[in-house]
Structure 1
Amino acid sequence: MSAAAESSVTVANVVWIEDTGIADIPSVGGKNASLGELSRALQSAGVRVPEGFATTAAAYRAFLAANNLEPRIKMHMEEQRAGTLTLRQAGAAIRELFLQATFPESIAADIQEHYRNLCQRAGQPSVSVAVRSSATAEDLPDASFAGQQETFLNVAGERGVLDACRRCYASLFTDRAISYREMKGYGHMDVALSVGVQHMVRSDVGASGVMFSLDTESGFPGVVVISAAWGLGETVVQGTINPDKYQVFKGLLADQRFSPVIEREIGAKERKMVYSQGGDARTRMVDTTEREQRSLVLNDTEVVLLARWAVAVEDHYGRAMDMEWAKDGVTGELFMVQARPETVQARRSTSSFRTYHLAKPGRVLVTGAAIGDSIAKGRACVVQDAKDIESFVDGSVLVTRMTDPDWVPIMKRAAGIITDHGGPTSHAAIVSRELGVPAVVGSRNATEVLSDGVEVTLSCAEGEEGRVYEGLLEFSVEDVDMHALPATRTAVMINIASPAAAFKWWRLPAAGVGLARMEFIINNLVRIHPMALVHPEKVSDPEEAALIRQLTSGYPDPQEYFIDVLATGIAKIAAPFHPKAGDRPAQRLQEQRIQPPHWRQCFRACGGKSHAGVPRRLTLLQQPLP
């Protein structure tokens, strides 16, 4: 990307997205400008973006002027500041002004003409489109306006597109958008809105999700993290389901010989969003099948392709990126539908970090994905619905089913956040990171297990799994300044007990990993004794047998589960320190002298490439040493 690139958009009311670029943020907003940049600059890298057009900031301001909206908007905001109107009342009044307004004829004609041309490109009389808001202050490195304005899916027809565009304009003044702009110091009239209208990818019969070009919790830049779910992507972004999760190691991504997917985690994915057939609602939620719940959404080829796109986008922009993708279930094609700067890790210092340590763990009440790496404690405040957010007690731990942008005002007043649904890329996770509030998302049953007012300690300092403990537990905080660490002649290495915590230490100036115990990987990740996986029929305890079935679901057999999870653990330990490990002939000679023959035999057996040899490899581990 050239900083000196000139804007390709003039004072036109409507432009094709492929004719825009990142220099056009003042005209078409961050979302549309980024999509235009991807279309123009990364087509050679194979990145695909759905065709579409965008209304400009000039069209938005012309809409305001034609309907005399600006003075009335300012009046309502003054009434809100004076206390005459509540935020909710002021926002509702302003949105109604937009919905009652009409487009100037010239702008309406431009939008309709571009929609007809889009239909002609697709060879259809009326194509379904996604209509998305793109504010001129959004997707900037210092702020995430994600979800602040509305998106409308499965829109068809000229009248439908015009109505959706007007509703996007109105969404610039939702309660959450007003609150967020005031928190970030943006003037309400300084922000304009562009609307992107794109050919709808048939992800309703396919899949969609989110990806980041770094590890969102630790900031480790050596991986791409991908979330995936069946159907439309709103379920992943909003956090209404627990998606699949993949991690891809960048260090081997450019080598076509490798498929460096170092983690695959099957999410519950109980529901999906699809197109609605008839009625006012354009989309609806349906239950997924048992097969969909137990299957991975993406295969390794698709995961690697998305990861390569993510790296191409990151290289182009020169910073870590937050992206959305969609898979067309009809054609099988993948598309990039959004790319914006990552806003949380970008602001963190790389020369220092803070660590939290529980003095003594207690009784675990619920678990989920850890967001952040800190610890918080307080009384649980269970809020089931956004309309009840006024009951929230400042400084307590928010417990709810899921969050959306309407929850932001109380999220920033919470000591910690716990949700039933959502993954590491859900709304609750993204906003919690930005606010610096620890969260445990995707617990599945926190609102049932935790009673209102119960004292809890929320820990995100123990790896990827976040834990909610009973009671108010003691913990300590330690700040580490990298510049203050003394230089040593000794090659200092790290002893890592848990693969889940390996990414946390990537900033340390270590020479590599000195010790990683396989039994810790088995205890922390595999969670099943290896011989129970070789002979699951011999497990007599019903609860243990049920756990084995649960953990190994989605795998062809229990032994394949062991191989995959063990490989994941080793890869996650190795990734932050690749390629520091070197060949040490002297050390290898010493190992040959002290290792019994049976141990070397096990090592050779485990070094084979065939998975069919696993029973023999595990059998070798049982042989007594002489």
Structure 2
Amino acid sequence: MTTVSRQEQFVLWFEDLSLDDLALVGGKNASLGVLSRDLEQDGIRVPPGFALTTRAFRAFLADNGLDAHIGDTLKAFQAGRMTLKQSGKAIRNRILSAPMPERIRHEIERNYIGLAHRIGHRIPPVAVRSSATAEDLPGASFAGQHESFLNIRGREPLVEACRRCFASLFTDRAIAYREAKGFDHLSVAVSVGVQQMVRSDKAGAGVIFTLDTETGFPDVVQISAAWGLGETVVQGQVEPDRYVVFKPLLDKAGAIPIISRKCGSKSVTLVYGRSEGQPTRLINTPAPERVRRVLGDEEILQLARWGAAIERRYGKPMDIEWAKDGVSGELFIVQARPETVKAGADRSIMRRYTLVEERIPVFSGAAVGNAIATGKAFVVDSAERLGEFPDGAILVAPNTDPDWVPIMKRAAGIVTDHGGTTSHAAIVSRELGVPAVVGTGQATCMVKTGQTLTLSCAGGEKGHVYDAEVPFTVEDVDVGTLPETRTQIMVNIADPGAAFVWWQLPARGVGLARMEFIIANIVRAHPMALLHPDRLVKAERKQVESLFRGYPDGAEYFVDTLARGIASLAAPWYPHPAIVRLSDFKTNEYAGLVGGAHFEPAEENPMIGFRGASRYYDDRYREGFALECRALKRVRGTMGFENVIVMVPFCRTPEEADRVLEEMASNGLRRGEDGLEVYMMCEIPANVILAEDFARRFDGFSIGSNDLTQLLLGIDRDSEILAELFDERSPAVTGAIADVIGRAHKAGIKVGICGQAPSNYADFAAFLVRQQIDSISLNPDSFVRTIRSIADAEASG
């Protein structure tokens, strides 16, 4: 009996494959081998299956005499004698009309029967996916370039699906992509993966990335999820749920480090078809399912742990597809490949795009990339218009598919109605380095071809589109060249959606995380209105109730949303401290929240009125403060961010400090318990005068130079008339700051500053260094400039 070597075999089972078999089975199938064999100890489930090897593909071409035809046709295309469309169609037609050689057909059918025996299903439904030898290499993801076929049943349909996978090596988009990347067409071969289908048509599926795809922040796992088969997520047909998990806390006992959990609209669902001729069909998602999350917390954590394990095995960030079986309830990994865009970027270089002017966007969506682009819009509502697309235009479309890659690479920017951050448009835009705003829901209705647009993805996870040419700047910073300082340099951060943008800054923690930004921009409703919607007028009550749809009540919505926002701010510089300031709205600002006017008094001078500490123990806000405490307790306890420090703002007297600390303790935040530190904003003259009294009650001070200057000089900091007199460098202010630093140090507590002055004035930063302040917290956009001036001040003594 003759033994056939691996290189000569037409079929190999997944568990017999490794990354050494790339030339034999391509990137997708080699990865399935790694998952099936090497990661079993991590509990990772992979549906069984086998690979039709590149040997089978080459034998198919040879037996049908197709090599010469393909070579001649491609030469005619490269010489300009045939168009891309003509050459691709000619090659595909020859492949699709060629018979499958009997020796290859026999192996396909024999192993399909073997799969049926293994899983106990007479005619098992399988996924049939192309796996090319040039796929999943650094700088070449080939996202969607080759075909996949789902819910294939029976031997003859399987053989036909394999032939169609062979033909998909020569789709127009695949030929164009290889041309752009410089691959030799004839040296690339295709393997075919045949894998048991997971019944995700009865549950859900999606994509996992083991880093933040927009910023490259490496410490998170991003999971997208939609109902039904996962193609809707990959192709950008739905706005999926999006979950973000913080990797460093995944193995902490009892921690649930899900720092973001957003429910997408999930308007359509891909399910099994009703006949052999229609293996899948797209249906409208029932209304209750659209507002329900696809995955529970335990499932999110399980997928995140699997993603982290796969990343460890490969030693690089990964792009993974998962599916949940609606019959068994089990989760499966169905594909994995190295992430090819952010993983290869130079992490020491931080490129910053900044809009020069403030504008109001006409609409927004999910940001892809961190860039800004301007150009004339070109609306493409059908594939027939692709040939008219001009170089450098902004592509505006309902969504994109792989056939659109040739024009996407010529676009200055991309805007879509549908899709999330793992859609085809998003994946390809990242690889091409083209900024995109996806899932706007309305772009094609609001934009006309020829209209000038600016799209900005530079502000975090939300991308904005402006109806004009808005000037912007671009700056590259090598963070590896930034100096080290004795003074602890931290960052001020407010927007959870933008926090990851700054992760490369060598900050030693967050010196000021503003809770009120999360409340105003993400929660949006007054906490007392969420607790008591019955006190609102009908229109406001409807608005408030719509905000907490999907939650048991408004209180849980507030706590959960605030907690996840705080966690997102604390994550980029973990385990360094993150100092979170309790809400410091003024009454007029609170009144501006949804439902807020019913719960706030009218004040002549809100700047020095019912704000900060005075609210927390007052019956008018005590219930709202309890929600803030619950959110912080959840961040530190349930989510595991013990690096979070709580800071009390605008505390007027030591007695008031006692009342606030007592109120916090009654809500589960007791200073010193579980390592909890409590700081106080030093921003009122009384805080300086009574520094020793306050120091006995707190673990640290953070100087708020804006309010301290206002109250020492008697100047409304918002007054245009008195703007020239408002100067943090006034001897009255610097004298008070020098005094409180010295007295706090004698009392044994730390002092930092989170005000604007060090960012604005190099001499003020130098003054703080001379006073031996413990930490200086800077706005991210001034971090690079100011850390250099601080280092210079330290060097000069």
Is TM (by shorter chain) over 0.5? yes
Equivalent residues of 2:28, 2:337 under 8 A apart: yes
Amino acid corresponding to residue 603 of structure 1 in structure 2: M
Q: How far has the Cα of 1:550 moved from its partner?
A: 3.5
1:32 aligns with 2:8: no
The answer to whether structure 1 residue 525 and structure 2 residue 586 are counterparts is no
**Is 1:150–1:171's contact at 8 Å kept on the other side of the alignment?**
yes
1:442 corresponds to 2:435: no
- Give the corresponding residue for 2:567: 571
1:123 equivalenced with 2:120 (yes/no): yes
Aligned partner of 2:550 in structure 1 is 554
Residue in 2 aligned with 1:263?
260
Secondary structure of 1:324's counterpart equals strand
Aligned-residue offset at 1:279: 5.5
The answer to whether 1:453 aligns with 2:450 is yes
Please point out which of 184, 209, 217 is paired with 2:214.
217
The alpha carbon displacement at 1:222 in A equals: 0.8
The equivalent residue for 1:138 is 135
1:355 aligns with 2:352: yes
Q: Partners of 1:549 and 1:73 in 2: how far apart?
A: 62
1:580 corresponds to which residue?
A: 576
Cα 1:13–1:476 shift into 2, 3 Å: same
Q: CA contact under 8 A between 2:26 and 2:135: conserved in structure 1?
A: yes
Distance 1:300 1:193 in 2: 38
- How far apart are the structure 2 equivalents of 1:460 and 1:350? 19
For 1:618, the equivalent position in structure 2 comes to none
Residue 37 of structure 1 aligns to a residue whose secondary structure is helix
Question: SS in structure 1 opposite 2:375?
Answer: strand
Question: TM-score, length-normalised on structure 1?
Answer: 0.93
* 1:181 to partner: Cα distance: 0.7
2:660 to 577, 580, 599: 599
C-alpha displacement of 1:80: 1.3
SS of the residue corresponding to residue 563 of structure 2 reads helix
- Work out whether residues 205 and 274 of structure 1, in 8 Å CA contact, stay in contact via their aligned partners in 2: yes
Q: Using the TM superposition, give the Cα deviation of residue 593 of structure 1 relative to its aligned residue in structure 2, in angstroms.
A: 5.2
**Aligned mates of 1:314, 1:548 — CA distance in 2:** 41
Counterpart check, 1:291 vs 2:288 = yes
Say whether 1:185 aligns with 2:219.
no
1:103-129 Cα distance to aligned partner (Å, 9 max, x none) = 221111011100011111122221111
Q: Which moved more, 1:214-223 or 1:446-455?
A: 446-455
> 1:183-241 deviations in whole A, cap 9, x for unaligned?
11111111010001011110111110000011111111111000000000000000000
Residues 243-392 of structure 1 aligned to structure 2 (within 5 Å): 243-278=240-275, 280-392=277-389
**Which residue number in structure 2 is paired with residue 622 of structure 1?**
none
- Equivalent residue for 1:201, pick from 198, 202, 213: 198
Deviations 1:351-379 (A, max 9, x none): 11111111222232111101111111122
- Closer, same or farther: CA 521–587 of 1 in aligned 2, 3 Å: closer
Residue of structure 2 in register with 1:228 after alignment: 225
Is 1:515 the counterpart of 2:576 in the alignment?
A: no
Q: 2:427 aligns with which of 418, 430, 434?
A: 430
CA contact 2:491–2:512 (8 Å) conserved in 1: yes
SS in 2 for 1:83: coil
Cα distance in 2 between the residues matched to 1:605 and 1:239: 48
Deviation at 1:581, TM superposition (A): 2.1
2:399 counterpart (394, 397, 402): 402
Task: Give the residue type in structure 2 aligned to 1:397.
Answer: I
Structure 1: gaps (5+ residues): 1-7, 610-626
Q: Tell me by how many angstroms 1:164 deviates.
A: 0.2
- Tell me the SS of whatever aligns to 2:8: coil
CA offset digits 1:423-462 (Å, max 9, x no partner)? 1111111111111111111111111112222222101111
8 Å Cα contact 1:153-1:283 kept in structure 2: yes
User: Which deviations, in whole Å up to 9, do the C-alpha atoms of 1:409-430 show, x marking residues without a partner?
Assistant: 1111111111011111111111
Residue type matched to 2:473 in 1? S
Gap change, CA 1:541 and 1:79, over 3 Å in 2: farther
Q: Deviations over 1:12-49 (max 9, x none)?
A: 01111111111111100000000011111000100111
CA contact (8 A) 1:384 1:401 kept: yes
Amino acid at match of 2:246: F
Aligned counterparts of 2:226 and 2:297: Cα–Cα separation in 1: 15
TM-fit CA distance, 1:245: 0.3
Among 68, 82, 86, the alignment partner of 2:83 is: 86
Sort the Cα spacing of 1:113 and 1:484 in 2 relative to 1 into closer, same or farther, 3 A. same
Partner of 2:500: 503
- Code of the residue aligned with 2:409 in structure 1: it is K
Cα-to-partner distance string for 1:580-605 (whole Å, 9 max, x where unaligned): 12999x99999995963343244334
CA distance in 2, matches of 1:126, 1:236: 27
Aligned counterparts of 1:284 and 1:385: Cα–Cα separation in 2: 21
CA contact (8 A) 1:326 1:337 kept: yes
Partner of 1:315, secondary structure, is helix
Secondary structure of 2:283 counterpart: strand
Deviates further, 475-484 or 150-159: 475-484
User: What is the CA deviation profile of residues 132-168 of structure 1, one whole-angstrom value per residue up to 9, with x for unaligned ones?
Assistant: 0000111122310121100001101110100000000
- Does the CA-based 8 Å contact 1:137-1:191 persist in structure 2? yes
Q: Which amino acid aligns with 2:334?
A: V
Residue 12 in structure 1 maps to residue 9 in structure 2: yes
Give the length in aligned residue pairs.
600
* Structure 1, 322-331 or 376-385: larger mean CA deviation: 376-385
Other-structure match for 1:103: 100
Q: Distance in 1 between matches of 2:157 and 2:249?
A: 47
Q: For residues 354 and 546 of structure 1, what CA distance do their matches in structure 2 show?
A: 43
Residues 563-595 of structure 1: CA distance to partner in whole angstroms, max 9, x if unpaired?
1110011100111111112999x9999999596
* Contact 2:503–2:572, Cα closer than 8 Å, also in 1: yes
1:547 CA drift (Å): 4.2
Letter in 2 for 1:22: L
AA matched with 1:248: V
Identity %: 54
Superimposed CA distance per residue, residues 259-303 of structure 1 (whole angstroms, 9 cap, x where no aligned partner) = 211111000001100011026221110011111101000000000
* TM superposition shift of 1:406: 0.7
Range 513-522 or range 596-605, more displaced: 596-605
Q: Is the CA contact (8 Å cut-off) linking 1:135 and 1:194 kept in structure 2?
A: yes
User: What is the rounded CA distance, in whole Å, between the counterparts of 1:94 and 1:50 in structure 2?
Assistant: 33
Contact 2:494 2:569 in 1 (8 A): no
Write out per-residue CA displacement over residues 599-623 of structure 1, whole angstroms, 9 at most, x where no aligned residue.
32443345369xxxxxxxxxxxxxx
Aligned letter for 2:174? Answer: A
Of 190-199 and 480-489, deviating more is 480-489
Q: Which amino acid aligns with 2:501?
A: K
Partner of 1:615: none
Q: Within the alignment, does 1:175 sit opposite 2:236 as a pair? A: no
* Structure 1 residues 135 and 595: CA distance shift in structure 2, 3 A: farther
Equivalent in the alignment of 2:58: 61
Which residue identity does 1:597 align to in structure 2? D
CA 410–589 in structure 1, closer or farther in 2 if over 3 Å, else same: closer
Report if aligned partners of 1:372, 1:460 keep a CA contact under 8 Å in 2: yes
Larger radius of gyration: 2
Q: In the alignment, residue 408 of structure 1 is paired with which amino acid? A: V
Task: Provide structure 2 residue ranges, at least 5 long, that are not aligned to the other structure.
Answer: 579-641, 671-797
